[in-house]
Amino acid sequence: MHHTLSILLQNEAGALVRVAGLFAARGYNIDTLNVAPTHDPAVSRLTLSLQCDDAALGQILQQTRKLVDVLQVAHPATALAA
């Protein structure tokens, strides 16, 4: 299934690499990735789309939430949104 995640990220050195690296290390292929500023200059919004089943999605949401620079991970399409 196709999923879109919205991630609020602290603008720290290497933060984007850590998000991308997590997806790569756990074997999830990112289809599209967009990084945009927010009203807070210390925070960026990542919009990321990928293909995976629901079990994998739950796991990737939980693993992404373990990244220290991640402020929030939302999956607007499902109730799994945090």
Per-residue x/- marks for another protein, 23-62, CB under 8 A?
--x---------------xx---------------xx--x
CB 24, min distance to another protein, A: 9
Place of tokens 């879109």: 4
**Secondary structure (DSSP) of 34-80:** EEEE-SSTTEEEEEEEEE--HHHHHHHHHHHHTSTTEEEEE-TTSTT
Query: Quick one: 1 or 17, whose CB is closer to another protein?
Result: 17
Options 4, 6, 47, 63; binder of another protein; rule CB under 8 A: 63
